Structure formats: structure tokens, C-alpha cells
Amino acid sequence: MSMRETDMTAGPERTARGGTGATDGAGAPGPARARGRRLRSWRAGLRRGGIEVRHLLRNRKEFVSYLSNVVVALMVASFIHDDLPGTHIPAAHLTIAGFAAYLLFQVGLINLPQILVTERDEGTLLRLRATPGGIPAYLVAKSVLIVVMAVGIITVLLGAAALLVNGPLPHSPGGWLTLIWVIALGLLAVVPLGAAIGAVLPNAREALAMIMLPAMALLVTSGAMFPIGRLPVVVQDVASFFPLRWMAQGVRSALLPDAARAVELSGSWQLPTVALVLAGWAVAGFLLAVPLLRRAARRESGSRLTERQGKARMSGALTT
Amino acid sequence: MTGTMTSTPTTAAGSRQSVVSARDVRMSYGSTEVLQGVDLDIHRGEIFALLGPNGAGKTTTVEILEGFRQRSAGEVRVLGKDPAHADDAWRGRIGLVLQSWRDHRRWQVAELLQHFATYYPDPRDPEELLELVGLTHRARHRVDQLSGGQRRRVDVALGIIGRPELLFLDEPTTGFDPEARREFHDLVERLARDEGVTILLTTHDLAEAERLADRIAMLVNGRIRICGTPAELARRAAAQAEVRWTAPDGAPRRERTADPSRLVWELHRETDGPIADLEVRRPTLEDTYLHMVHEHTAGTAGTTDARDAADAGTADDTALVGAGTGEERSA
């Protein structure tokens, strides 16, 4: 603050001193100022996250589109009346657990890339790049938004399912604990990956088309909707490579009674494998996302923005 | 350095501080050399306009100065630092207003300013800022409910919220109606005169450059071809003054001359009476601009329009750039 005051009065001397300022920046005030800046951008990021959550809640259209996922899940579940083979557990419970996992997956791998691409094309990313501490604040804000979205959707889904279609909830504190760590690790597995995808996708409209199909394919093949054992072994193997299968299995282990293990491929919940696969995806996602996001932010400039907006206008994707 | 650069205004330019200084900046994409040695000095507190046709390297130059693009060669100092290695502290001393910004549409204007104030160590007061850009009555509106001109003023407010020493304005009044443009110009002048903000303006609007800029540089084909005050630039136009009148037989006539006064005097002697529709057009910034573009892009594809216009001694030339800066006098 005091520095700024001297700037105002002694402006002309500033660049003259600039040369030495760069070298004695390593002195006493340097690290303190850097810490102050970091703190400021964290605070800005948290506040930004809060504001974005508020905007999401106020935007009826978007809010409805997120809720519609829940409605679809409940409708599908209400049409399933049989039990899981060899048990007295309603098959609908498996479907609801599968939808819970899928909606997490969707927040990370579809909603997040879409948000990132849209905000990049509107210039939000460039604006924050041009703002001191803007990019860290942006990442903090997006993390807040994604966590709130994911937890919100899961809560609404499980709450509504329990109230309306007699859906499953964890039976014990251990079950709740499992649910929490599976959600947390599942998000860690898909969010960095989604950020990496968002960093490389060309534009918002194509983005949706490019990720929607593989996501749907995984939804069907990952055992989220019906027991994975009914699928050919090759499909099982492919699906087992991706995180959704393991997220769904983890959520099932939290929501379904142990008798439901009979339907699992190995006859057990395989929680250590769930943790390992999801952690692996989390690490891989971070390794991909950090350089890709850095590259995306570095490449942003006014002319790139104009260029992309021109292209978007040509294809009619942008309305301004 | 292009000889024209050194003859900057007669004021003690040497003793004034350089906020931006560029020496022999080059930029190549593959084998195309977009910038072929740009030299630039912008002094503290001045409004500096960078003009040039599309594709001349204007955007590349500005983005190198903004730290968004790596140059191929040359020396650049912006606020004493190399923008290629800029840190957050440096970013905080720069403000940007880009024409392509459509961000934060859902945010309320006041909310947006308050939020961006939190990134800076000593921000302006958001309410005073709203007052300054004339948006107090729109404080509670969402950004996407604003008109184009109001939206751009939000961008200006965000650009100066951290009290930058240097502000980049990228074609800021594109799409403005005349009133919005006038208000915007007043705001920019106030920032420079009252608050000592150095401003680098890129624009296609020559009237805007002439009205706002202390100095103007023209970038054509990857080099600064001429640089000086608007008056100097207009004077240095190779284009001559044009005299128009209607001959006694009713035919419209026009002639180019370095000495319009002598031509008019001769005309008066010849006709021995008033001359119908007499008009003297002095060389304008527009003439200089078109002349520069013509001279330095001859033979380059895509610039034929400008060349035709610069040649215009015979054709219908006037409305080409639409700047309407012609100094007209009728008898």
C-alpha cells in the first residue's frame, strides 16, 4: 500500500529505480509480498467460487438441466421392478448407485470441460490471465464450483430417490464413510482429466459432441445401469480401464448391502482396486492437466479470442 | 530505426521517460516475417496511437508488448521489464481493454468490479469507478443486459481498476454510435490528462486517432513507417492539397498542387470573378495514411483498395475511410 502512495507522487522516478528494484526484490519485502499475493488470490478464488455457485443456482435454465439428470435417473429406477439375480435386493438400487457414479463422472468429464471451453471462448480465461493472481484464483473457484455441483447433485439424487422410489442409502457409518471417500477420489480421478480435455477442445459446441458419445458408451458398459457380468468379456475389460466402472462399484459398496456382492464380477467390492484405479487416474489427470492448462492459458491473447469468435460466428454457435 | 522516428515532437522527448521501448523487434511465422524490425518509444502520460492496415503486424506488436506473444528477436521494455518474462507484479501495472471480450456475462456490473478489485493491492473504489465510466445507473444490471458501448465501458473500468500505469486499448470504439464514441473519448482523455495513465491505442478510425493521440505511429508491412504528432504527420503527407471548382462550362474540375493559394489566385485572374464551388482540401492524416499504405505495400496482394484510394486524383475517392477529416473551405 505504501508503495502505491509513493508511486502516485514520485511517479517519474519509478522506472529509473525499476532496474535495481528487480535485483533487491529478493530482499526482505519480496517473499512477504509474494505470500500476500498468494493469499489474496486464494481469497479471490474462494469468493469467486461462491459467486459462481450463486449464479448457477439463479440460472433457471442451467439449474433445470442439471436437475433433469436426476429426474431421468428416478424415472429409469421406477421402471425397474425385479431383484438382482440371486438376491432380494431391488435392481433399481444398482441403477441408482450407477447413476450417482455417472453424474459425478459427468460433472468432471462433461460439465467441467464445457465450462472451461465456454469461458475460454468468452475471454474469461484471458481476463484472469491479465489479472495478477487471476489464474490460481480461477482454479480455486472452479474447484469450489465443481465440488459444490457434484455434492449437490448426489445429495439431490440420493435424497429424492430415498423419498420417492425407496432408493438406497448407506446402512452404517462405515457405508457413509465409503460413500464420502469414493466421491472424493472419484472427483479427483475425473476433474483433472476433464480440465485437461477442456484445455484442448476446439470450441464449446464440438466439445459436447466429442465427449458425449464416449461418455454414453461408458455409461452403458461400466455396469452402472445393469450388472457388468452380462456383457462380453472384451467389453468388460475395456470398461474396466476407465474410472466409471470403479466409481460405480465403489458407490454400490457404500449403498448396497453386502449380499449384492454376488452380482459383482469377482464376488467382492474390491475396494482396494477401486482406490488404486481412481488414484491412478487422478495422478494421470494431474500430470496431463497441469501442462495442458498452462499451455492453454499461455496461448490466450486478444487475437486468438477474436479468431475463435469469428469461427464460432460462422458456424452460428455464438449469439453476440 | 526508421529515420522518421527520431524526429519526434520538439518537446524534450529525450528527457521524458519511456514506458514502452522497443528496438528492432522481429517476428516470423515460418518463413513470413510479420515484423521486420519495429522501433517504438512511448512516453509516460501520453496517448499513443498505433495505426496500420490489417495484417500489417499491429496486433502482433501489441501482443508482444502485452506479454502474450513471444517475439523472434529484438529488445522490448515495458514499464522497465521484458514482457516475455512478466510476473504478477508487472501485470498489476498494466491494464487491457480488448474488443473481443464477452466474459462474465452473468455477473452484475457492481459485483464484477468489486470482485476484480480484490486482486489488486490498491484498487480504485468500485463505486467511484462506476461514476467515472458513467455506469452508476447500471450497477445492478447483469453484464449481458448492457449495450455494446456500456459493455466496453465495463471493460475499461476493469482495465483501470488496479490503477495501471499503462493501458492498452484495442479498437475500443468499434460498433459505437457517435454519442457513445464521444463519451468514450472524453473518458480516455480524462484518464490520460487527469490521472497520468499512459495509453496505447490501436484503431482503424483515423478521426479517433487524430482526436485523442499525442503521437501516432503507422505500421505498414512490419515496420513503423512514420511517427509523430497528428499535425506533423498530416504535414508530411506526400499527398498534395487538392483544389476543386466548377469550370465556366459547368464541368467539375479538380487539381492537385503543392501551392493551392497560387492556383486559386491564378484561377481568379483567369475567370476575373467568383469561382463556382471552389474548395481547397489540405492533406489530412488520412492522406498520409493512405500514402504510407500505398508506398509500402505496392505489389502486395489484398491492398489494392488502399492503393486505389491513395492514387485518387481522378477517381471518386473521398468516402473511403470515412474519417471525414478533410479541411474544407468554400469561396
User: For chain A, what is the mean pLDDT?
Assistant: 85
What's the confidence (pLDDT) of residue B238?
58
- State which residue of chain A sits closest to B104, comparing Cα positions: A124
Look at residue A112 and tell me whether its pLDDT is greater than 80: yes
Look at residue A231 and tell me whether its pLDDT is greater than 50: yes
Residues B260-282: tens digit of each pLDDT:
888 899 888 888 888 888 998 87
Look at residue B117 and tell me whether its pLDDT is greater than 80: yes
**Is the CB of residue A113 less than 8 Å from the CB of residue A201?**
yes
What's the confidence (pLDDT) of residue A317?
52
d(Cα B293, Cα B55) in Å, to the nearest integer? 12
**Is the CB of residue A247 less than 8 Å from the CB of residue A277?**
no
What's the confidence (pLDDT) of residue B178?
86
Q: Give the best residue of B20, B78, B81, B119 to mutate against chain A (max A CB count within 10 A).
A: B119
A182 closest CA partner among A84, A249, A232:
A249
A26 vs B70 pLDDT, higher one: B70
What's the confidence (pLDDT) of residue A1?
38
Interface of B with A (CB under 8 A): 17-19, 44, 59-60, 62-63, 66, 68-69, 79-81, 88-89, 91-92, 94, 96, 98-107, 111, 115-116, 118-122, 158, 162-163, 165, 170, 196
B310 vs B216 pLDDT, higher one: B216
Q: Give the best residue of A6, A7, A43, A55 to mutate against chain B (max B CB count within 10 A).
A: A55
User: Which of helix, strand or coil describes residue A244?
Assistant: helix
First to last CA, chain B: 44
Global pTM exceeds 0.90: no
d(Cα A117, Cα A119) in Å, to the nearest integer? 5
d(Cα A20, Cα A10) in Å, to the nearest integer? 16
What's the confidence (pLDDT) of residue A41?
86
B7 vs B149 pLDDT, higher one: B149
d(Cα A319, Cα B314) in Å, to the nearest integer? 43
B65 closest CA partner among B233, B229, B199:
B199
B95 closest CA partner among B222, B173, B199, B186:
B199
Q: Is B73 exposed, middle or buried (0-12, 13-18, 19+ CB in 10 A)?
A: exposed
pLDDT band for position B313 (cuts 50, 70, 90):
very low
Inter-chain residue contact B92 with A132, CB threshold 8 Å: yes
Residues B87-111: tens digit of each pLDDT:
888 999 999 998 888 899 999 999 9
C-alpha separations of B292 from B7, B49, B56, B212, B274 in Å: 17, 16, 12, 21, 36
Inter-chain residue contact B88 with A1, CB threshold 8 Å: no
Residues B61-72: tens digit of each pLDDT:
999 999 999 999
- State which residue of chain A sits closest to B20, comparing Cα positions: A15
Residues A58-111: tens digit of each pLDDT:
888 888 888 898 999 999 998 988 888 888 899 999 999 999 999 999 999 999
Hey, what's the cell of A269? 467390492
Inter-chain residue contact B59 with A44, CB threshold 8 Å: no
Look at residue A34 and tell me whether its pLDDT is greater than 80: no
Å from A30 to nearest chain B CA?
A: 11
Inter-chain residue contact A131 with B66, CB threshold 8 Å: no
Instruction: Report the CATH architecture of B3-8+16-234.
Output: 3-Layer(aba) Sandwich (3.40)
**Is the CB of residue B71 less than 8 Å from the CB of residue B84?**
yes
User: Which of helix, strand or coil describes residue B296?
Assistant: helix
Inter-chain residue contact B106 with A59, CB threshold 8 Å: yes
Mean pLDDT of B294-321: 44
- Pairing state of beta strands B32-43 and B18-29? antiparallel
- Closest CB to A51: pick one of B88, B102, B111: B111
- State which residue of chain B sits closest to A13, comparing Cα positions: B17
Look at residue B169 and tell me whether its pLDDT is greater than 90: yes
User: For chain B, what is the mean pLDDT?
Assistant: 82
Inter-chain residue contact A127 with B104, CB threshold 8 Å: yes
Helices (H) and strands (E) in chain B, counts: 11, 12
**Is the CB of residue B40 less than 8 Å from the CB of residue B18?**
no
What's the confidence (pLDDT) of residue A315?
67
- State which residue of chain A sits closest to B105, comparing Cα positions: A122
What's the confidence (pLDDT) of residue A2?
39
Å from B108 to nearest chain A CA?
A: 10
Hey, what's the cell of A185? 477420489
Inter-chain residue contact B107 with A55, CB threshold 8 Å: yes
Residues A148-181: tens digit of each pLDDT:
999 999 999 999 999 998 889 999 999 999 999 9
- Closest CB to B118: pick one of A1, A47, A59: A47
Inter-chain residue contact A127 with B101, CB threshold 8 Å: yes
What's the confidence (pLDDT) of residue A148?
95
Residues B73-83: tens digit of each pLDDT:
999 999 999 99
φ, ψ for residue B42, nearest 5 deg = -120, 130
Å from A290 to nearest chain B CA?
A: 19
Residues B205-257: tens digit of each pLDDT:
888 998 999 999 999 989 998 899 987 887 776 567 888 998 888 889 988 88
B53 closest CA partner among B320, B298, B297:
B297
Inter-chain residue contact A122 with B89, CB threshold 8 Å: no
Inter-chain residue contact B119 with A44, CB threshold 8 Å: yes
What's the confidence (pLDDT) of residue B310?
37
What's the confidence (pLDDT) of residue A316?
59
- State which residue of chain A sits closest to B55, comparing Cα positions: A303
What's the confidence (pLDDT) of residue B239?
60
**Is the CB of residue B2 less than 8 Å from the CB of residue B21?**
no
Hey, what's the cell of B185? 473519448
Residue B279, beta-bridge partner list: B244, B330
What's the confidence (pLDDT) of residue A320?
43
Å from B308 to nearest chain A CA?
A: 28
Hey, what's the cell of B145? 443486459
φ, ψ for residue B281, nearest 5 deg = -110, 120
Look at residue B143 and tell me whether its pLDDT is greater than 90: yes
- Closest CB to B88: pick one of A21, A133, A303: A133
Look at residue A289 and tell me whether its pLDDT is greater than 80: yes
Contacts of A199 (CB under 8 A, 6+ apart): A116, A289, A292, A293, A295, A296
